[in-house]
Structure 1
Amino acid sequence: MDIVFEKSTEKSLDEAIKSLKKNLKKDSFGVLWELNFKDKLEEKGLEFENDFVVLEVCNPKQAKEVLEKNIHIGYVLPCKMVVRREDDKTYIGMTNPETLIGLFDEEELNEVAKGVAGTLKSAIEASI
């Protein structure tokens, strides 16, 4: 199973982020934190050519469920999503929760991760 799921879109970076946030909200996912690595690196005096925006997203109910079953799952929470630019194209992607939670080898949690992955993939597909 791949660790990254990513799709390209003709939308601008800002349009893609706005669309992704809207589609995540429909499924009770909120954005807890947002960082554009390009801007942060420039603050530190380093040049980085492309926008690379990391969004940490969470569905509180599902996070509580997995944390109650295995507190160590918190090491891979919240879910990371990315909207980035490369070669005049915008990409929307995520790290796959199924792959990450699968590392803990707990069948019950794998089902939750599968559902989360499906929801996040649907949000990406709806945002392109």
Structure 2
Amino acid sequence: MIYKIITDTPIQTVKDEMMAHAKEAGFGVLGTYEFQKILQSKGMDLNQEITGYELCSPKAAQDVMNELPEMSVFLPCRISVYEENGKTVLSTVNINDVMPTIDASQDFKEHMNSVYTKFVSIMKSWN
């Protein structure tokens, strides 16, 4: 259900370059969430830095919501960035695990696979 990429690229480099890498793949960054800071502002502790990114390809979002409005729960696409065992981890929902459970045409599923492949290319761009 979760797709993860592990890279030796320092976390700060990934964070600094996320917008440019997303743009190269046809996505924009809609929002960024520094979860540690957010929780600290609420009086809670998070023992590690985790940053969430909301990314969007407007055309892909339009296609998804016109075909299957219920898929909007997966939008915008998200990537989380954090450290694990001294490495930088990028993770997201593996939409390929979700698609077989969706009642949609094969053409739509293939189109979503193509969009997901572009999305994953963002994550792989630091390897």
TM-score interval (norm. to shorter): 0.7 to 0.9
| Residue of structure 2 in register with 1:117 after alignment | 116
| Residue of structure 1 in register with 2:8 after alignment | 10
1:11, distance to aligned residue in structure 2 (A): 2.1
CA distance in 2, matches of 1:60, 1:105: 22
TM-score, normalization: structure 2? Answer: 0.87
1:30, distance to aligned residue in structure 2 (A): 0.6
> Structure 1 stretches of 5 or more lacking a match?
none
RMSD value over aligned CA atoms? 1.6
Which aligned pairs between 1:48-67 and structure 2 lie closer than 5 A? 48-67=46-65
CA distance in 1, matches of 2:36, 2:112: 30
For residue 114 of structure 1, what is the amino acid of its counterpart? Answer: N
> Structure 2 stretches of 5 or more lacking a match?
none
| Residue of structure 2 in register with 1:41 after alignment | 39
For residue 24 of structure 1, what is the amino acid of its counterpart? Answer: A
| Residue of structure 2 in register with 1:127 after alignment | 126
For residue 90 of structure 1, what is the amino acid of its counterpart? Answer: T
Contact 1:16 1:92 in 2 (8 A): no
Per-residue CA deviations over 1:17-69 (Å, capped at 9, x if unaligned) read: 23333221012101111102111111111111111111111100111011111
1:101, distance to aligned residue in structure 2 (A): 4.2
Contact 2:39 2:45 in 1 (8 A): yes
Give the number of equivalent residue pairs: 126
Q: Percent identity?
A: 22
| Residue of structure 2 in register with 1:21 after alignment | 19
TM-score, normalization: structure 1? Answer: 0.87
1:105, distance to aligned residue in structure 2 (A): 2.3
| Residue of structure 2 in register with 1:79 after alignment | 77
For residue 39 of structure 2, what is the amino acid of its counterpart? Answer: L
